[in-house]
C-alpha cells in the first residue's frame, strides 16, 4: 500500500509530466485546405491572403492545385510569399494525378524548415491509380528524431460514391508499418461515415467531429450557417499523436463576406495541433 508521502509524490510527478511534457516530444501544427482552382486564378492579393492563413502553421497540405504549369507556378508563388513572413519554407509538389480529363490535379505540401525536413522522395501512390480517381500524395517528413508520413488526398465528388475508393485507401493504410501516418484532405464524406470505422478500430481519430467545412454558394437564409458539409479533416493515430487543439478557420469572417471567401475557395481550411 502506498504511504501518504508516496501518494503525494505520485500526484506531483503526474502534474509535472502533464504540464511539462517529456523532452523529445515535438509538437506540430498541420493545416489542410482544398483551395479551389489553385493556379492562375489567384491574384497577388489572394495569394497574400492564403499565405497569411497558412503562415500560422508548421505544415500545409493543399488539394486541388491545377494540373497544368499554372498550378506549379502558383505553389512557387505561395512558397515565395511564405518566405517573406520571416520563416523559411520548403515544399513538395506532386505530378498530375492519373485521372480522367478535367479531374486531374496536383497536390502540394509545404513546411517550415525550422520544424521539419523532408525524408525520402514524395510520390503519388500509383499502386492505387486503378482504384481511385486521384491517387493520394505521400510525403515523408522528419521532426527531430521522429519521422511521419503525410498522405494528402482529394476524394471523388459526393455523387461519385467516394466511399468506394476511400475503402481502398483505408485498407492500404492499415497494412503499412513503420512511421506513423497522417491522412489529410477533402474526403467528400463526413468523418462519421462507416467507411472510416476500420481506421477507428485501429486507433485513428478524426481531428474534427462533424464540423461543416464547405461553403454555401449563395447567402444563407436567417438562422442558417454559411457552412454545409463536414468533408475536410485530418485523421491521426492516437497511439502516436496526442491532439492538443483542432478547428476550422472561419473563412467568411476572415475574408469579410461569403462572396469574398468564395473567391478564395469553396472550402474552409481545417487544422490540428499534435504532439508526437
Pairing of strands 89-93, 106-112: antiparallel
pLDDT by residue, tens only, the chain of 276 residues:
445 444 454 444 344 344 444 456 889 999 999 999 999 999 999 999 999 999 999 999 999 999 999 999 999 999 999 999 899 999 999 999 998 888 999 999 999 999 999 998 999 999 999 999 999 999 999 998 899 999 999 999 999 999 999 999 999 998 887 789 999 999 999 999 999 999 999 999 999 999 999 999 999 999 999 999 999 999 999 999 999 999 999 999 999 999 999 999 999 999 999 998
Q: In whole angstroms, what is the distance from residue 211 CA to residue 248 CA?
A: 8
All structural domains of the chain, each given as residue ranges with its CATH number in brackets, are 23-275 (3.60.10.10)
Q: Return the biggest CA–CA distance within the chain.
A: 72
Q: In whole angstroms, what is the distance from residue 137 CA to residue 128 CA?
A: 11
β partners of residue 118: 141
Amino acid at each position: 500500500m502506498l504511504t501518504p508521502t508516496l501518494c503525494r509524490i505520485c500526484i506531483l510527478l503526474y502534474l509535472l509530466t502533464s504540464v511539462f511534457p517529456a523532452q523529445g516530444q515535438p509538437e506540430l501544427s498541420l493545416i489542410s485546405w482544398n483551395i479551389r482552382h489553385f493556379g492562375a486564378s489567384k491574384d497577388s492579393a489572394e495569394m497574400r491572403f492564403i499565405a497569411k492563413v497558412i503562415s500560422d502553421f508548421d505544415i500545409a497540405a493543399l488539394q486541388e492545385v491545377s494540373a497544368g504549369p499554372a498550378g506549379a507556378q502558383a505553389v512557387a508563388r505561395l512558397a515565395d510569399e511564405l518566405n517573406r513572413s520571416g520563416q523559411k519554407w520548403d515544399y513538395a509538389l506532386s505530378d498530375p494525378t492519373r485521372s480522367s480529363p478535367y479531374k486531374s490535379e496536383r497536390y502540394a505540401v509545404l513546411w517550415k524548415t525550422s520544424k521539419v525536413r523532408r525524408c525520402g522522395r514524395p510520390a503519388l501512390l500509383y499502386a492505387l491509380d486503378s482504384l481511385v480517381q486521384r491517387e493520394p500524395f505521400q510525403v515523408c517528413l522528419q521532426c527531430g528524431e521522429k519521422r511521419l508520413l503525410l498522405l494528402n488526398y482529394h476524394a471523388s465528388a459526393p455523387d461519385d460514391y467516394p466511399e468506394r475508393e476511400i475503402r481502398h485507401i483505408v485498407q492500404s493504410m492499415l497494412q503499412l508499418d513503420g512511421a506513423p501516418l497522417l491522412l489529410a484532405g477533402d474526403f467528400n464524406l463526413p468523418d462519421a461515415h462507416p467507411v472510416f470505422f476500420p481506421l477507428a478500430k485501429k486507433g485513428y481519430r478524426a481531428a474534427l467531429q462533424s464540423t461543416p467545412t464547405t461553403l454555401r454558394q449563395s447567402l444563407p437564409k436567417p438562422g442558417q450557417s454559411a457552412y454545409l458539409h463536414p468533408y475536410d479533416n485530418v485523421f491521426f493515430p492516437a497511439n502516436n499523436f496526442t491532439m492538443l487543439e483542432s478547428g476550422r478557420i472561419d473563412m467568411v469572417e476572415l475574408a469579410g463576406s461569403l462572396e469574398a471567401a468564395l473567391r478564395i475557395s469553396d472550402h474552409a481550411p481545417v487544422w490540428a495541433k499534435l504532439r508526437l
